[in-house]
Amino acid sequence: MVNETYLDELVDFPEIVILRLLNNQNVVDLLSNIKNATLDDMEDDDGKWKYFYDYEHIPETIQEIKSAFCIDTDIVSVPNKSTKRLELYVSCYCSQANMSINTRVFTGFAGNRLNNLLRYADLSLRSNMPLNNKIFGSNPSQYIRDIFDFGNRVFGIGKLELKNVRTVTSGNTAFAKKMLTYSIPDFNTNRVAINV
């Protein structure tokens, strides 16, 4: 599908975030709780993401012990005809039973799973990490290559600006949740078409 609207960021940015998070081996390993996890470990039998939601998701019941990311985007202001300001929300929730990290398996980690997932998520989004061929294979699609070739320029004008990291109430006491909030200036025009 070719995107050519003034609100493409609402769809594009969560997908870009998911792909950039998947590119970080630490994120993939901590989410799946498998050392050296692969893309197959991130998908269910229907090919849907197990650990990513492109909307604000709150688990209602404890069906499995897991951690996951919820990604969403708001357009918070349109100050003039030329520019707009967006906020990108990257929430991570972690079940209390999954908070500890097995340091015999995941050597070099300290602290809890939630805070480690957040710090590696921020690193994945704000740095220009090279494409991880172990995750995406040796011949990824042009769309995947573009996300990493353009670096931080895939998010609006300039770089992502971290506004805050805060604890949020998840609505389910079995889970802890924190949210990264980024501010993004962007042009108030239809985006360059990206084939999704």
pLDDT in tens, 144-170: 887 777 766 678 887 889 999 999 987
Tokens 């949210």 -> residue: 179
Position 1 scores a pLDDT of: 46
Dump pLDDT digits (tens) for 49-99. Answer: 999 999 987 766 656 678 999 999 999 998 888 888 999 999 999 999 999
Report if pTM > 0.75: yes
Burial level of 26, CB count in 10 A (0-12/13-18/19+)? middle
Cβ count within 10 A of residue 194: 20
187 conformational bin, left if phi > 0, alpha if psi -120 to 50, beta if neither? beta
